Amino acid sequence: MQVEPFTFNPFMTNCFLCHDQGEAVLIDASCDTEAECVEVMDVIKEHGLDLCHLLLTHAHVDHIFGCRFFEEQFGQRFKAHEAAVPFIERADEQATAFGVEVESPSVPTTLLAEGDTISFGDVTLEILHTPGHSPDSISFVHRPSRQAVTGDVLFQNSIGRTQGLPETSRTQLLNSITEKLLPLGDDFAIYSGHGPATTIGRERTQNPFVQEAIGK
């Protein structure tokens, strides 16, 4: 599985185009301007990709700015965890709280839960429910290539924010990291919602929040 990362909008939110054998999924349409949306479209066209699924790690406003654009381009809705639904329904309120504007995405009709899978090309992504930063946080895991797109759960040297946001739980977040992500293995590449890609091994040994959680 090839992962093409992009970083968009004033919150510097990552968007990932994952592809294999000419088929692709788009994870987190964080593109805010038309130019940012076109940047993703250009890569889709350049590789001649069929876009199979539109996916969200969670529905915080910084991850959904470009959802409408891609829904219209590809005639499909984003798939997300069921707990994303109220966040999407309140997208305007989320935007106002952060002083930005958003075109609300459609409410998802296909909901993803722990253990579900998403397929494209020869890839099957496994869904892990990794709440704490938000109740709807899910991670997309590809075990054969040792890669996971995890949203705002684990960052290089940091973890997802659990203050000043609704329905967060630091305890739940740390449990998601120690019980769901760390067992993936040290060699796993982690594509986070913000900042550079990292690995489980790096964060297990160097991330102070992870170190504290595992009692090192």
User: Which residues of the chain form contacts with Zn ion (CB under 5 A)?
Assistant: 13, 60, 62, 152, 193
Distance of closest approach, residue 138 Cβ to Zn ion, in angstroms = 12
Instruction: Pull the structure tokens for residue 34.
Output: 């038309």
Distance of closest approach, residue 57 Cβ to Zn ion, in angstroms = 8
Distance of closest approach, residue 149 Cβ to Zn ion, in angstroms = 13
Given the complex with Zn ion, which of 60 and 79 has the nearer CB atom? 60
Distance of closest approach, residue 180 Cβ to Zn ion, in angstroms = 17
**Residue of minimal Cβ distance to Zn ion:** 60
Distance of closest approach, residue 152 Cβ to Zn ion, in angstroms = 4
List, as one string, the DSSP characters of the chain: -EEEEEEETTTTEEEEEEEETTEEEEE-----SHHHHHHHHHHHHHTT-EEEEEE-S---GGG-TTHHHHHHHHT-PEEB-TTHHHHHHTHHHHHHHTT----PPPPPSSB--TT-EEEETTEEEEEEE--SSSTT-EEEEETTTTEEEEESSEETTEE---SSSTT--HHHHHHIIIIIIGGG-TT-EEEESBS--EEHHHHHHH-HHHHHHTT-
